[in-house]
Amino acid sequence: MNKINLQPTLIPLITIAIILFIWFGPIRINYIENIIISIIIIIANYIEYKGKPFAALGFQRKKFTFKNILILAPLAALGLFAFYVFAVVPGITKLTGVPIDYSSFDQLKGNLPACLIALLVVWATAGFGEEIIFRGYFMRQFVKFFGESKVSIAFNIVLLACFFGFMHSYQGITGQLVAGFIGALFALIFYLRKYDLWFIIAVHGFFDTFAIICIYFGLA
């Protein structure tokens, strides 16, 4: 009788349970939680993929190029940020009748040292952390279990966009909807780039960099 291999199913289930406990459990670790979760994911992938955790997440060495990371990604982020500022935010704000709650970023206005620290934090926890978790792990695991049909990918993107938006509840209902929509676009880019995690990390990082610059100058 063939031995049933539970590893491809059991390890992701345990990993996701740990992630949810870190996010929603009684112990709060705030800014470093996504970093800790990313480390857990890398360890889980190391076990599941027999010592090749990074390739499974979408870290493709051949696509880590100057052109992709420092030219195409910033340009994509700038275009996405312009779309966010001039279309997404006004449109969803009009729909909900409530502005995004940016109050958690008030201390960054005109505060250069705080903004520089914030840049390091968002690149580590949002650029790398959120992309490893949502795109590199959750999205790739979904594909592993449910395939890459158009229906599956569409449901994958919508489902994770809803969860991504929910995780931004501190920005109010409008902020959640906007974050969910932008998260869906990040996921779509990740899919169209054939799961190039380096690229979407750079796009997310530069997107948040533009946001912090606007906050610093009081434009948000």
3-class state of residue 211 by DSSP: helix
CA distance 86 to 15: 38
Instruction: Quote the pLDDT of residue 220.
Output: 74
Instruction: Quote the pLDDT of residue 3.
Output: 45
Q: What is the mean pLDDT of each run of 10 residues along the chain (220 residues)?
A: 62 95 90 94 93 93 96 98 98 97 93 96 96 97 95 97 95 97 98 97 98 93
* Residue 205 vs residues 74, 83, 176, 180: alpha-carbon distances, Å: 9, 16, 19, 17
pTM of the model: 0.94
Please state the domain extents for the chain. 60-216
Instruction: Quote the pLDDT of residue 55.
Output: 94
Q: CB-based burial of residue 152 (10 Å sphere; 0-12 exposed, 13-18 middle, 19+ buried)?
A: middle
